[in-house]
């Protein structure tokens, strides 16, 4: 089953906290099948299902599956499923980390509604094939109806707004591929603050900030802050991925989420300074996901570090750009201190989202990119990182795994980097470096738990940083002063002095 397109059309009622409407799924079957299977949360009630316009019988299970059975097998080729449904969607207990609907109020008492489902998936409110490897190739439409006076912020372009006496309907459309968990909407008494961003390739992209009336005055400056982030990220990762649509942010009652072309923002405009300029870590991090998660997507949750780890590495590159190399290195040393090393970052090829999601996919994932940069050098690392974010093979319609990343960097560097990738991503080991003093000024050094390749490691000898190529065999060196191993901190490591 290959998903081609979703249309999600729903009435949203803030008073009864319910939704009602339909979802259409366009897909192609590679072979005929007697059953069509979709993911859909069991708490919503399905009123009917049609396939290619014909009513079909279905079973909606407690295990969140919608099984559609035809009178005769469905043939291979194009199929359009329409599912009519409604009810009360699940309430988010701790958004954005545990998702669902959040029925809040703004400071004026108006409905302020957000949807998040990164770990639960789009199935919490629309029937879909809920797996990261299958995004709708031809995009999606969201047609959302709300009580008059409220505004719906959604993905892509606003095609139409229609009003009746009591309701308003917003038709959002994206022509790009999009993850299920980004096919969401936010509702509020929004003001819209606009600006224009010019991409690195000279394309003009509308910027839209759906902001609460209370924070409307903060909108223009916030977009300026975002522009600075966009400039830096484009430098490292290539042009903004959704230049034909928009750069969007929607203020939300939760902290934030990387919703494609309409990032959720709820960090309350709490700026710190980077390079003397206002900086909002949440805004920058979620915007980085427009490349890492939205454009470059993991084929399975098992490889989610590609999305969170490289995105977090981008946060550090922002610091590098505005404050320089030393400030960036300091950020990386902080990341090293927070590494938990309880579970490997990659635990297999097929892992569910709850098992994959832990702190190390962020900090240790970012630190791994820092290590990789040091091992292969800037002249290879940065162009290859940009290639990963721009080459057709790794972006949009195509999803990737850890092995794809490893092979790309191995090919680019002309050396087999698999031992390094496996060590840092598939084990919880720290690089162990043993240092033995054999004489007053003589030392022997070796890697004790790492095999398969040499690693460059800096040692402070006689007050000077010298680079050594180390492996699991002893290397000797002399130093008048007590040696310091990897003083800048390019590795997550344990040094054992004897």
- Shortest Å distance, C-beta 412 to Zn ion: 26
CB of 99 to Zn ion, least distance (A): 14
| Angle at the Cα of 167 from the Cα atoms of 165 and 170, rounded to 5 degrees | 130
- The torsion of the CA quartet 467, 472, 473, 479, rounded to 10 degrees, works out to 40
- Dihedral sign for Cα 495, 315, 343, 297, please: negative
Assess contact for 75 and 33: CB atoms under 8 A.
no
Tell me which residue has tokens 């091992």: 375
**Which lies closer to Zn ion via its Cβ, residue 312 or residue 410?**
312
Q: Which is nearer to Zn ion, 242 or 450 (CB)?
A: 242
CB of 362 to Zn ion, least distance (A): 7
Which of 92, 435 has the CB closer to Zn ion?
92
Instruction: Indicate the helix (H) or strand (E) that contains 306.
Output: helix 305-323
Report DSSP letters for 359-377, one per residue.
Answer: GGGTHHHHHHHHHHHHHH-
Does residue 414 come out as left (phi exceeding 0), alpha (psi in the -120 to 50 range) or beta? left
Cis preceding-peptide flag for 463 (omega within 30 of 0): no
- Contact of 14 with 28, CB cutoff 8 Å: no
- Comparison of 40 and 287: residue with beta carbon closer to Zn ion: 287
CB of 131 to Zn ion, least distance (A): 20
Provide the mask over 256-295, with x wherever binding to Zn ion is found by CB under 5 A and - wherever it is not: ----------------------------------------
- Name the residue nearer to Zn ion (CB basis): 14 or 288: 288
- Shortest distance, position 312 Cβ to Zn ion, whole Å: 7
Residue 183 or 485: the one with the smaller Cβ distance to Zn ion is 183
Q: Identify residues 354-413 at the interface with Zn ion (CB under 5 A).
A: none
Nearer to Zn ion, 181 or 443 (CB): 181
**79 vs 283, which CB is nearer to Zn ion?**
283
- Residues 91/125, Cβ–Cβ less than 8 Å: no
Least Å distance between CB 307 and Zn ion? Answer: 7
Tokens of 369: 């990119």
Query: Least distance from C-beta 286 to Zn ion, angstroms?
Result: 7
Query: CA-CA distance, 272 to 278, in Å (whole number)?
Result: 6
Rounded to an integer, what distance in angstroms lies between the CA atom of residue 42 and that of residue 339?
38
Question: What is the pattern of x (binds Zn ion, CB under 5 A) and - over residues 299-328?
Answer: ---------x--------------------
Restricting to residues 430-469, name those near Zn ion by CB under 5 A: none
**Smallest gap, in angstroms, from Cβ of residue 385 to Zn ion?**
17
Do the Cβ atoms of 458 and 465 come closer than 8 Å? yes
Find the residue with minimal CB distance to Zn ion: 308
- How many residues at the interface with Zn ion, by CB under 5 A? 1
212 CB-contact burial (10 Å; exposed 0-12 / middle 13-18 / buried 19+): buried
The DSSP element (H or E) to which 341 belongs, if any, is none
Q: Which residues bind Zn ion (CB under 5 A)?
A: 308
């Amino acid at each position: 089953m290959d998903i081609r397109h979703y249309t999600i059309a729903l009435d949203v009622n803030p008073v009864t906290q319910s939704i009602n409407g339909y979802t259409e799924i366009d897909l192609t079957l590679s072979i005929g099948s007697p059953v069509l299977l979709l993911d859909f949360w069991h708490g919503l009630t399905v009123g009917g299902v049609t396939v290619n316009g014909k009513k079909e019988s279905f079973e909606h299970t407690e295990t969140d599956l919608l099984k559609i059975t035809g009178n005769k097998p469905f043939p291979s080729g194009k199929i359009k499923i329409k599912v009519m449904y409604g009810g009360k969607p699940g309430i988010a207990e701790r958004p954005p980390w545990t998702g669902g609907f959040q029925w809040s109020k703004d400071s004026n008492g108006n409905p302020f509604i957000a949807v998040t489902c990164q770990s639960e998936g789009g199935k919490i409110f629309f029937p879909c094939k809920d797996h990261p490897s299958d995004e709708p190739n031809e995009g999606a439409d969201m047609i959302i109806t709300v009580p008059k006076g409220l505004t719906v912020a959604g993905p892509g372009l606003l095609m139409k707004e229609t009003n009746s006496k009591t309701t308003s309907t917003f038709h959002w459309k994206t022509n790009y591929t999009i993850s299920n968990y980004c096919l969401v909407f936010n509702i509020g008494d929004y003001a819209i603050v606009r600006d224009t961003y010019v991409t690195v390739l000279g394309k003009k992209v509308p910027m839209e900030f759906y902001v609460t009336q209370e924070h409307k005055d903060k909108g223009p400056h916030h977009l300026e802050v975002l522009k600075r982030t966009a400039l830096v990220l484009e430098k490292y990762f290539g042009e903004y991925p959704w230049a034909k649509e928009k750069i969007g942010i929607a203020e939300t009652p939760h902290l934030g989420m990387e919703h494609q072309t309409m990032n959720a923002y709820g960090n309350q405009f709490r700026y710190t300074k980077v390079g003397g300029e206002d900086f909002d870590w949440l805004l920058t991090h979620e915007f980085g996901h427009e490349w890492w998660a939205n454009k470059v997507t993991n084929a399975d949750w098992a490889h989610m570090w590609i999305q969170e780890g490289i995105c977090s590495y981008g946060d550090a590159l922002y610091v590098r750009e505005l404050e320089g190399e030393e400030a960036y290195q300091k950020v990386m040393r902080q990341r090293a201190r927070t590494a938990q090393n309880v579970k490997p970052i990659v635990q297999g090829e097929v892992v569910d989202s709850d098992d994959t999601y832990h702190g190390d996919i962020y900090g240790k994932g970012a630190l791994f990119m820092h290590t990789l940069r040091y091992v292969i050098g800037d002249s290879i690392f940065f162009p290859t990182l940009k290639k990963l974010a721009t080459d057709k093979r790794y972006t949009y319609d195509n999803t990737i795994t850890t092995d794809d990343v490893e092979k790309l960097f191995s090919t680019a560097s002309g050396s087999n980097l698999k031992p390094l990738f496996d060590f840092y991503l598939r084990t919880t080991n720290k690089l162990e470096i043993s240092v033995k003093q054999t004489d007053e000024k003589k030392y022997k050094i070796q890697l004790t738990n790492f095999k398969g390749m040499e690693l460059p490691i800096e040692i402070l000898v006689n007050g000077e940083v010298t680079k050594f190529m180390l492996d699991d065999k002893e290397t000797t060196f002399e130093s008048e002063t007590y040696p310091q191993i990897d003083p800048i901190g390019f590795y997550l490591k344990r040094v054992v002095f004897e």
